[in-house]
Structure 1
Amino acid sequence: MDRTILIDNDALLKLARYNLLDEVIASFNCTSTNLFVLATAKYSLFPAKNRLRFCKEEISASRLEAFLQKCNSLNAQSADPELLDALNAVQNIDAGEALLLATGATNQGSLVITGDKRSLIALCTNDSVAQVSRSLAGRVVSLELVFLLLVEHQFTYVQECVRAKPDIDKALKIVFGVTAPASFEVVQEGLASYISHLRSATGTLLYTPF
């Protein structure tokens, strides 16, 4: 059975620039009918005055546009209004992340893929949204967790994608090797270290893939 996947703008942008969007969806056995992104994603990621401001290259922009066309859109009606209001009141959780997290908490069968660590820490350190963090326990996938899954099956390809664009994510650049490609074991250890640090700040929130 396909699982519903909710993806935030940060993760979408980085995965599109790395050319790994399809690989990520395949790793979760998901199809386009089960993908959800923020309704505002196409406007936020493609500013009217500078279409390539975030994507940088036309190939990445075209790739992301095509992907967004396949996805379903999330709006305020997608989530429990009380949960959404509570999240919107928490510092360091922006409106987009609030909607994503509230929708995930409302829909128990979903996974939330996000690159916004600050919002996850805020979620797990604010008592006013404890209900949300409890509801999402084990269903939030950080970007490092995504890459831990990817390297299990396509290590060489994923490493090439990351090292080809070292400007996208500093942590991933270091993990996969700066001056020379890192070994599979070193990459695993590096990703696990970042994940462990985030788990220490977010308790049971993060997904456990293995």
Structure 2
Amino acid sequence: MLYIDVDAMSKLAHWNALPLLPKITGFAWEEVVTVSSLRFRAQRCREKADGKVFHHADAAIRIIEHLELMGVAGTPDPAILSELSSLPQIDEGEAVLLSLTLGDAQGVFLTGDKRALRGLAQNEICRRFARRILVLEQILEQCLAQAGHKWVLANFCPYKHIDKAINAILGSRCDTGVENLMDGIHSYLGELDRLHDPSMLYSFDDAVR
């Protein structure tokens, strides 16, 4: 299963990248799970964005449409949930999804929260997430490879500012060429890769699905 936190779901919806996710990750929509509370927040924002999770009502509508296709979260292991919940950098929803990831032999966690990853890297439980965490920079890289440079600029640029790293990678004028885009992506991925040994970052090359 692919477990996606609220931050990543929201940003991918703004960038119109949700339809590409099954092809990118190899997980069908029924194998994708997020927290149940996202549905209620999206429903509240389908008429008027809240300016926090949703910066445009269209993103809320896209999420509602995709939630209808997605799987249902199971019950996390209480001991693992308690350990993850004790980390101040990880919020309640992330703790649940991370717990479910560890309870699933093929579970992968997709997040847009770098603060949570840095907090996780400081805890011994981090070792259990080796090669099991996807980040938005990896999704951007895959979108570039599969949908192309023009598609990335057209879809990411209008809301590039909602993610600090993506904003920096795309540049202030959002006219960055492919080579510079890749350099920026790999720079941020290198930083995350070095947070822990073994690396937490998911490897598309090693994935068997």
Q: TM exceeds 0.5?
A: yes
Shift of 1:38: 0.9
Distance in 2 between the 1:112 and 1:56 partners? 24
Secondary structure of the 1:121 match is helix
Q: Which runs of 5+ in 2 are unaligned?
A: none
- The partner residue of 2:161 within 139, 145, 167 is 167
Given the alignment of the two structures, is residue 201 of structure 1 paired with residue 195 of structure 2, yes or no? yes
- The TM-score with structure 1 as length reference comes to 0.87
Change (3 A) 1:180 1:16: closer
Distance in 1 between the 2:104 and 2:174 partners? 43
Q: Which runs of 5+ in 1 are unaligned?
A: none
Aligned residue for 2:136? 143
Secondary structure of the 1:141 match is strand
Aligned residue for 1:26? 23
Aligned residue for 1:62? 61
Residue pair 1:46, 1:52 contacting (<8 A) in 2 also: no
Identical positions, percent: 25
- The TM-score with structure 2 as length reference comes to 0.87
Indicate the larger mover: 116-125 or 4-13: 116-125
**Aligned length, in residue pairs:** 201
Q: CA-to-partner distance for each residue in 1:94-121, whole Å, 9 max, x for gaps? A: 1111111111011011211011111111
Change (3 A) 1:110 1:47: same
Aligned residue for 1:125? 122
Cα root mean square deviation, aligned: 2.0
Distance in 1 between the 2:128 and 2:162 partners? 31
Indicate the larger mover: 10-19 or 24-33: 24-33
Aligned residue for 2:11? 14
Shift of 1:175: 1.3
Shift of 1:12: 0.3
Q: CA-to-partner distance for each residue in 1:25-76, whole Å, 9 max, x for gaps? A: 221122121111112221344547x85213232322211110112112325x
Secondary structure of the 2:80 match is helix
Residue pair 2:10, 2:54 contacting (<8 A) in 1 also: yes
Distance in 2 between the 1:27 and 1:140 partners? 14
Residue pair 1:114, 1:142 contacting (<8 A) in 2 also: yes
Distance in 2 between the 1:122 and 1:166 partners? 25
Where does 1:34-45 land on structure 2 (aligned, <5 Å)? 34-45=31-42
